[in-house]
Amino acid sequence: GAVVSQHPSWVICKSGTSVKIECRSLDFQATTMFWYRQFPKQSLMLMATSNEGSKATYEQGVEKDKFLINHASLTLSTLTVTSAHPEDSSFYICSARDLVASGRQETQYFGPGTRLLVL
């Protein structure tokens, strides 16, 4: 099956630093990747949709200058949390949609997620 990797799986950083998270589709090409965030005891919440070669589309309430998304190739999207603060501590997870898939039957393939702790 399709595999999506995410790196790093864990990161602890000091307040004010920036953290970059990578999401890669390993055995398929993905024009669209999605970034989600999950706070404790809550559901996965979509943050933004990342399209290869164009600007990401952010969900309401998600600051685009704080969460920078780059989707430079068909297999890689990155999320950079800029000037991270303790309230940004969360679980971040990406998913990718196969280039050849279309329609409502298509499956999104998820990475294993990144747990971010900002001290």
Q: Is 23 in the site for another protein (CB under 8 A)?
A: no
Q: How far apart are CA 26 and CA 97, in angstroms?
A: 12
Taking CB under 8 A as the binding criterion, the range among 14-22, 70-78, 80-88, 98-106 that sits at the site for another protein is 98-106
Residue 51: what are its φ and ψ, rounded to 5°?
-110, 135
Q: Is 112 in the site for another protein (CB under 8 A)?
A: yes
Please tell me whether residue 88 adopts helix, strand or coil conformation: helix
Q: Is 46 in the site for another protein (CB under 8 A)?
A: yes
Among 28, 26, 21, 40, smallest CA distance to 94 is for 21
Please tell me whether residue 87 adopts helix, strand or coil conformation: helix
Q: 28, 30, 109, 116: which one contacts another protein (CB under 8 A)?
A: 109
In the complex, the residues that contact another protein under the rule CB under 8 A are 4, 9, 34, 36, 41-46, 49, 93, 95, 104-113
